Structures are given as C-alpha cells and as structure tokens.
Structure 1
C-alpha cells in the first residue's frame, strides 16, 4: 500500500497531460454535470464538488443507484460514470437509464474494452495499470479525482490554474502526513474506533477515509458531516477513539475550531487536516487545501492513517472482514457487484 500511496504524484504527472489531451476531442457542452459511481468513485464525486464550483459548472454528485432509480435527468445534462474496472453492475444500469432518457454519457475507466465503455457515448480512459486491487485503494481514487477535475475543465472551457503543480503538492502532503500522524495513531488498538468528519465537499473525503479502514480488514470506522455529528452521533464517542476532521474553506474555520475543541474533550485523539487556521495538538497542515486541490491533498491523511493503523495493530489481511465468514462476505459482495 505504501508503494502505491507514494507513487501518486508520479502517476498524476504522467496521466494528466494524456487525459487532458483526450478530452479535447469530446463535445461536453452541458447545462449540468451529473457525476456518479459506486464506492470510491462516488466519494470522489462528492469530494470534487468544490472543483466544479471553482469553475462555475452546475454540478450534482450521485450514486449510480440514484441515477438509475431516482434522479430526474434533464436533456442538457451530461452523466459522467466512473468505474476503474468498468464492470460495476449498478453503474452499468445507470448508464442504460441515462442513455434511455436521451442524456449524454461519459465513462471514466481504466479498461477501454469494458462493458461501461460500450454502454456510454464517450470514454475518458485513465492511462495506467492499477498497482494493486488487494489493498485499500489510493492511486485509483486520486486518478479518478483527476479525471473528474479534467472533465470540469473541459465543460468550463478553461483550465484550473494550479493543477499542473499538483504532483509536487501531493509529494509534500505525503511527507507532512507521515511526519504528523504516527504520534496520533500511537495507542490505537483493536478496541479503538475512528471517526472521519467534514462539511461540504469534505464529506466525500470523510466517507473515503472510513471506507479505507473498512477495507483494511474490517476495522470499525464512521464518516459524518460536521454539523450533524452533534445531533446524536457524538454519543457514540468513547475515550479510546480517534477523530479526523477535514476543513478546506476559510469560511468554515471558526466552525471547525469549535468542533475540534469539543471533540478534544470526548475522544483520545483528534487530528485536524487543513490549513493553518485551526490549532490542534495533532495537525496535518496542508497549505494547498483550496477548492481545486482540496480533494486530492485531503485524501492523503486518511490514506496514511490507514496504513499506520494497519501496521500498528495485529496483522490482518486487507480486505478480510474481522469476526465474520470472509469467504461468504466476498461471495455476497461479488453477487451485488454482478461479478
């Protein structure tokens, strides 16, 4: 997992110009972008909302099931469906529903011969081979985010100013996370739970963080929205728990400072991930945490925390649920995915 985690800057640098060039040939004129997927592809869609806001592109993030069953689609929408494998059942069903409604569709995938490519009007291929699908996904998530950001550029008709400097920013943030997080994770035991909290687009990053710990052997982790956490979820906190708080907008700094202060009275460790606006004993300082970079750099902290927690606790295979019939778990999961 660490090799994949540290390779993200390198892969972004090589994939960015290729994908940007590929999009130039596509007609993505739209009144609204609907970005959909399952699992990490959905969490990245939520996290990418700030990028579309920065470029002034009307935007909705949705699960594939929402697109397939619930979401009203408009004739001038473009539905963008992300799946690294290109074979996720619910995402294929969403593509079929969108095309049946006469709405333009774009696939984002690593597999140019996948069923998703055949189901969509256009395709953006992520030009890389996943390093591993057996450990909690890091590179797949970041490159899906990159593809989504480049779609925002193409629809807006203008480039994100600093996207070309993202590889160096990722490398710097990885170094910062490995510096700041070992002390926070020290003392984390199998009895500890981890909470990930954020507001706005950071809810996507929080959900992604919890999912990484689920994948790392079925560890107990929860994701929540910062405000709604205090409407009942706070009663779940125990003194042994770790809480990670994400904040990328200056406007929300005061709210997040109050959140961190309150959490510090209830949990063993509170980690603040963001710019220098909030004081916290455990802080992953990300000076690049603006809307266009925030989902990329924010995701580094939960990735590193997941790796450190997996190392710190007794060994358990990634992707193997604890306290359950793992073979049956995988059978049921595969049936749901349609594999």
Structure 2
C-alpha cells in the first residue's frame, strides 16, 4: 500500500461495549484501521471477533444496550475531516452520512428490508432523502438502479415485496439501496453468507464492477478466505475485538505472521492437497469476552504459544513495514522472530 495515500476513513482506538446481565462485554477493544479510496479492505475472523460491531460503530448503529466508549472515527471525505463520533446521533449531518457518503449492505437482507413495504418504496425514500429528487424522478432512478444491480424486469420488480423475491434478489435490492447516493465508501457486512455459491459469485462480481465504475472504497466483512483472496487489496484479521494482523492481501497469504492468521489459512481446504487426511482446525472456540485470557487472548488455542510469556505478556503491535503489522510476542520490535 502506498504510504503517501490519505485514508478516506481512519479508525483509531475504537472501543465498543455492551451491557449484559453478566456484566459489560468489550466487543471491540481498541481497533485501528484505515480504508483508502478505490481500494478494498477485507476484515476477516471467526464469528464473535467484533467485525460487524466495528462496522456498525462507524455509522453509530450500535444497539441500545451498547455504547462506543473510546476512540475516534475520522471521515476524510470532501471538506474538512471530522470525527463521526462527535456528531449528534439524531442530527442531519449523521443522517446525510448514513446512506449518503457511506453506504452499508447488511448481512441479512430479509431482516433489513421492511417486509410490508415494496423494495421500490424503500429505494425511492432513500433516493429522495439523499438526492432531493421528486417522486417521479426517484422512481425512474430506482428502476435504473435495480437494472444496474442485475434484477430482471426492474419496472415490474420495483413493486414487489421482499417476500416475493429470492435471497439473491433481496441482496441485490439492498445493494441498490446502499449505492443510490453514489457513496464514497461501501461497507458490506458478510453480504453473501446466506446465498448459494452461484449467487455469491454473481454478487461478488457485481460489487467488483460497481467499485471499478464508481471508484468506491469498500470495507468487506467476511469469514471466507476465498472471498478475501478474490476481492481484497488489504486485509485486517480480527480476534476477540482486536486487529491482530494487517497486511496487503498477497503478502498475507504468502507469509502470514500471526499464529491465528496461519491457523485460519491452514484450515482452508485446497483441492487435491492432503487427500484422505483430516482438515486442520483451530482447537477450542473464541473465548467469552467477559472472561478474556491473560496475556495474549489467542494463547489458549495457539500452537506456538510460549509458556510463561504468551500467557502473561500482552502483545504490542509490531510494524514489519510496507503496511504490515501484527500483535504477537513472538517478534521483536524490528519484526524479527524472537
């Protein structure tokens, strides 16, 4: 990654937590990330690592039981940079940012689209809020958008309800809504998880084409390393609310630094490799955030953990240069293997 580029979005020290009956859960625990114009950042990790909460924190869409406790989220769009966390949560500036400068595709379209309103009504409303078009012009533009995202017969489908469309069509409608104001940044929160493989491929091709056409930045959240290899320019690997490794995509796959990243890559099935052997897995599960392990959070599951070190010393970020970092006590401050 060119270090002279200015990030479009810059997250620094983000901490988001939730109040539960058992105590306060730190879902995001000091995340630092940058997203650059025209490039794709993939955020990867197991379920429960804080990927979706990080994405929702950017647009202040955290549930009522949650709170953003610390950090900054700086938007470097047109005009002077500003901290999104400083905006009035009910103010017009944040409303313009949501769906305007920043579009978001949610994980479950069936849960995100209103079931009692047509997809056209939902798309037209978003267009009118963010573009100022009148109702007739907004409907015409909505038909164009549905056609652009590959929905057949858009003049008829615009009056369909979500339950009348397939999962893939609902996801395409969500993409149309997210793109209606030509956002500078698109956040896609596992948009292909519930879709069949063929539809997944079509959605990914669509996102890639739309990004090239509009030069959007994309923050793509996934647990699928195949998707990461296909889409990403940069990758951030998250574990238990922290970014444990960041790297350009080719370098991450060629030479992963953090043991967690190595374990994730080793668990990916490869056609024709090690036939007849069990697929490597990561032992255990992501720990309960209420009961975080001492030292490195990954050490109870780590094949390279050093007793008396990894279970005691909290890792600090090691900078390997060229946009590569990792949080691991197995490296010294210059990035050499300790």
TM-score of the superposition, structure 2-length normalised?
A: 0.22
Q: Which has the higher helix share?
A: 1
Query: Computing the radius of gyration over CA atoms, which structure comes out larger, 1 or 2?
Result: 2
Q: Which has the higher strand share?
A: 2
